[in-house]
A and B are shown apart, each in its own frame.
Chain A
Amino acid sequence: MSILKSLLKMRKKKEYPVQVEEAAVAGPDLKNLNLEQLKEKIIAEFGSTIDLSIDELKTEGKDALLVYLTTMIDTKSLKETILQSISGQKEGFHLSTEDDLKSLCKEKFGGAGYQLVETFDEIIISLLYGNIIILFKDMEKALSLSMAIGEDRSITEPSTQTVIRGPKDGFVESITTNVSLLRRRIKNRNLRFERFIIGSETNTTVYIGYMDGIANEKIVEEVRKRLGKIKVNAIFESGNIEELIADKAATPFPLALNSERPDAVASNLLEGKIAILIDGTPFVLVVPAVLVDFFSIAEDYYQNFMMGSFLRIIRYVSFMIALITPSLYVGILTFHHELLPTPLLLGIIAQREGVPFPAVIEVILMEVTFEILREAGVRMPRAVGQTVSIVGALVIGQAAAEAGIISNIMVIIVAITAIANFVSPTYSFAAAARLLRFLLIIVSSILGLYGVLIVLVFIVAHLSSLRSFGIPYLSPVAPFIIEQQKDVFFRFPIWSMRKRPAYLKTQNPEKFPKTGSPSPPPMKGDQPN
C-alpha cells in the first residue's frame, strides 16, 4: 500500500498549506532524460491539448524549461513574480548541484511554497494541480511552484440547511476556502488536516480534518484506511465518498453526516468527529454519524435550550409522521375502524363516499404523484418552478378531490406527510423516510397496523445492526449511555453538557470544567456562600 505509506509519512510534515509532495506512483526519474527528451515526453503525455505551454528559458546560466497548463494557473502572477525573479543571472553563481538549486529556491521563492520534484509522474500531477514546473538542464530535480488560480464562487449562504439565527456562510466548491472557513472557526493548533488523492482518473483532492488530542485515533486510522482503499476512477461529490466508505451498503439510512455549514462541521470536530472535505463540492462529510446527529442542527445550540429541545422533539415527531402517516391511514381505514372516534369515522366515510379506489391505491397514487411533483420542482428551471407548485396544488389536490377521485382527507394526509418530510434537517436522512414509507403502505394494506409494526420492528432491528465507522448507529440510545441523553431528545443548557459523546471514545472526554449554571449577583441581604 504505497499510498498509505506515503500518506502516513506525509502526516508528520506541516499541515497547511498543503502542496503536492511525493507522488503516489513512482515513474521514470528525471536524471535519465535530457531537456529535449523531457519536452517530447511531456507533449506526448498531454497530447495535443491546447492549454499546455512549454517555454524555453535560461536562468542562472542554465537552460531550463518552463512548463504549465495555461488554464490552470494565474498568468498575471506568473509574469509579475516568477519570471522577474527567475530570469537573469547572479554574479558568480552557477547552478550545477542540487544544493545550488536548493539555495537558489530558498533565496528566490522562500515562503512561496516551492517544491522540488524528481519523478516524471510527479511533474504530470503537479501540472494538473495548477503548478508551474521549471526543469533545469542536467539537474535531477525540477522546481515546482504552486500558481493555481483561485477563481471560486464567493462564499454565500448555504442553499440547504438554512437557519434563522446563526452564521450565514457556507462551504464552497474550493477545498482550500473550505479549510480556511474551518480554521477561522477553530483557532487551535490541534486542528489537523490530511490529504488524500482519490480517483484514478479525476485525482480529486480529499482532506480529512480532525482535532488531535480529541478525536479517537482508532477512528481516524479507520478513516484513513477506508479512504486509502478506494479504487474508483472518479470522485465528484461527497456522496461518492460516502457510499464508498460506508460500513454497510444495503441500507436506506445515511451512515455519514453531510453539511454545508462550517459552524456545524466545526462543532462536530470539537465533539471528536472527523470531517472529510472533498474538492469541488460544498458538502462536507462528518463521520462517524449516529442517528441522533440527523435530528440535531447547529441552531439548536444558538437559541434558548427549551426552544431548542422543543424543536428537536418536533423533528423526531415529524420524522415519524413522514414515515408512518400514510400507512396508518391505510391500516386504520381498512382494518381498524374501531380506532377512530365515531364522529370522525362517520365524517371520513361521508367524504370517501364515491371514491372509486381502495384506500391503498389512493394513497400510493397520491404519494407517487407527490414524489413526481417534488422531483419536477427540483429539476425544473427556476423560472418555471412556480408553475409546478400551482399545477400541483391546484390541479392535483383540488381538482382530484372535487372530481371525487380521491378524498379530501387523503390530500391532508399527503400534505402533512410531505411537510413533515421537509422538516428533516438532512436531506439524505429524509430520503430514507420517503422510501420506507411505500414499504409500510403496502404491508399495512395487507396486515393492517400489525403489518406496520412488524415493518417497524424490522427497521429498528436494521438500525440497531448498523454501524458508522464501528460506532453503533443508535448510540447513545442503544447502547444506552445516560450521560449523553442530555443531547438526544432534549438539548440541555450548554453549561451542563460537559462531556463529549462517550460512544466516540474520545481522547479527552471533558469539554470544559464544571461551572454550574449562571446565576445573578447576590442580592442585598443574601448570605454570601
Chain B
Amino acid sequence: MKRFVRWLSILALTVLAGALLLAISSLPPAPVKLAGEVAANLAVSGVSHPVTAVLLNFRGYDTFLEVAVLIIALLGMLAAGLPPPPPTGSRNAMLPTLARLAVPLMVLAAVYLLWAGAFRPGGAFQAAAVLAAAAVLLHLAEIQGPWPDNARGPRLAIAGGFLLFLAIAAALLVNGGLLRYPPEQAGLNIVLIESGLSVSLAVNLAAFFLLRAPKS
C-alpha cells in the first residue's frame, strides 16, 4: 500500500512537472505591463530604486504584513519552547578578537545598505540581515550572552520598528488610505520606516539564535 502511494505520488508529480514545463514554454506575452507603471510613477514614489519603490510605497502594505509574519515566526519558536544554550568553553581564542574587529565594520556596512536602498539594491531587510549576523558573531564569540525568554529589551526593539510602521500607516489614513504618503514627504516616510525596520528585523532575526532557555 505504502509503495503504491509512493509510486502514485511520483507519477502525479511528474505529470504536474511536465504540464508546468509545457505551460511555461507557451506563455503568451502579459497584457498588463507592470514594469512600465512602476517606471512612470517612480518620480513621485520618494525613492529612485524601483524595487524599494514597490516594497515601501506601491506595495508597502504587503511589506507591513510581512514584518508581522517574521514576528509570528519568532513567536512560534517561543511557543514551542526555547532550545537549550549551546555548550561553552570550547571556543577558539581567535574568534573574540576577530569579532571585535569585524562587528564595527558590519554595522557600518549595514548603515550603508540602509542608505543605499533609496537608489540601488539595498534597504532595511539587507541591513537587518548584516546586523543580525553581527549579533550572532558576538554571541558565538561569547561576547554577547544569550537572551532570556522574557528579556524586555529585545522585545521592545522588535516591536518598536513595527509599531512605528503601524503608526505611520494609521496617521496617513487622513490622506484617505493606509500608507498613503503625500508625494513630497514620501522619501522621508520611507527613510523613517526603513530605519525602524532595520533595527527591528535585525533583533528579530538575531533572536532566533540568541533567545535561549536558561541553563538548568
Chain A bound to chain B: no
Q: Write the residues of chain A forming the contact surface with B, with a CB cutoff of 8 angstroms.
A: none
